[in-house]
Amino acid sequence: MSESPVTAPVCYRHPAKETYVRCTRCERPICPDCMNAASVGHQCPECVAEGRRTQRSARTAFGGSVAGRDGVVTRTLIGINVLAMVISVATGGMTAVAGGGWGGLLGQSTPLTDWGSVIGYATYGPFDSELHGVAAGEWYRLVTAMFLHYGVLHLLMNMYALWILGRELEAVLGRLRFAALYVLAGLGGNVAAYLFSAPNAATAGASTAVFGLMAATFVVLRRLNMSVAPILPIIMINVLFTFVVANISVAGHLGGLVTGALVAAILAYAPRERRNLIQGVGCGAVAALLLLAAILRTVDLLG
């Protein structure tokens, strides 16, 4: 009686390919096209996928995803600001490049900055009969103003600060939490400008958010028991700069600074238990308070 020929095992995904390698987890035969190197041996695609589903993703000290280390949110924010500047230059001509103001730092307004800056309740000029501003229902200004700049030098200074501070904070907080910090700090500065500036004063710039990032860096360093020496002089110099130089929104800068510190404290000091819930509710509460303040200011201007 003849014995059946011994056949070589074949890959379970590619039956035409003989193989003597087996997945170290499920022990099914796998060919070189299906092999995934593991700490010991090789694994098949299904076992690799299952391992990824059951593996807990790495988190930062404040609960964010470590994906923030690539700085994609910081780069995106810079891209939005630069794009807005390009559009502003296109609509306003060379006045948007240098313009007036302190050493050309603060350029003249353009149609885009007129449209998107924080204005309380006023016309664009003596030849405009229509009232504009947040009190006129243009609430979007509280957001758009943080992406608009008066002049290229104004833009470059803010983007340099955003590049330096943003990447570090995004890596520590994670993408979502960093984005929330940036937007809320910018919103806080713009609401403060709306509250405390003259109704016809126009303010814009990412510096409201940047001041918030400075304050957040201070809070995060303290929370991590690290030295605040690198950031404290920068905060002090920029606050002094705010009061000394003309045509700078004191309320906007200080509002962004305070809001950034508050949001950072919520993110950094939330207890590990229910951390996501506390951080989310806390940030939502800050947004609600800012909205309430803006509503009360609107009622006051219209009354």
- pLDDT recorded at residue 289: 98
- Of the candidates 42, 132, 154, 253, the residue annotated as catalytic is 253
Of 109, 104, 113, nearest to 148 by C-alpha is 113
149 is catalytic: no
In sequence order, the β-bridge partners of residue 37 are 42
Query: pLDDT tens for residues 37-95?
Result: 876 678 888 888 877 766 556 677 777 676 667 899 999 999 999 999 989 888 876 65
Domain residue ranges of the chain, discontinuous segments joined by +: 1-55, 66-302
Name every residue whose Cβ is closer than 8 Å to that of residue 270 and which is 6 or more positions away in sequence.
62, 63, 278, 279, 282
pLDDT reading at 166 higher than 90:
yes
Q: What is the pLDDT of residue 145?
A: 97
Class of domain 66-302 as given by CATH: mainly alpha
Bridge-based pairing of strands 42-43 and 36-37 is: antiparallel
Average pLDDT across the chain, whole number: 87
Residues 132 and 119: their CA atoms lie apart, in Å, by 7
Task: Give dist(CA 182, CA 159) in Å, integer.
Answer: 13
Residue 210 has pLDDT above 60, yes or no: yes
- Whether the full predicted model's pTM is greater than 0.85, yes or no, is no
DSSP 255-293: HHHHHHHHHHHHHHHS-STTHHHHHHHHHHHHHHHHHHH
For residue 38, the model assigns a pLDDT of 76
- Residue 165 CA to residue 178 CA, distance in Å, equals 11
* DSSP H helices in 136-249: 141-144, 152-173, 175-196, 207-223, 232-244
Looking at 88, 197, 207, 249, which residue is catalytic? Answer: 207
Q: Is 207 a catalytic residue?
A: yes
Token pair, residue 289, equals: 């308070």
Rounded CA gap, 247 and 99, in Å? 13
Instruction: Decide: 244 and 232 in contact? Cβ < 8 Å.
Output: no
In this prediction, residue 99 carries a pLDDT of 57
Q: Which of 167, 163, 158 is nearest to 186 (CA)?
A: 158
Query: In which band, very low, low, confident or very high, does the pLDDT at 194 lie, cut at 50, 70 and 90?
Result: very high
Can you tell me which residue has the tokens 């409201």?
A: 208
Structure tokens at 266: 């919520």
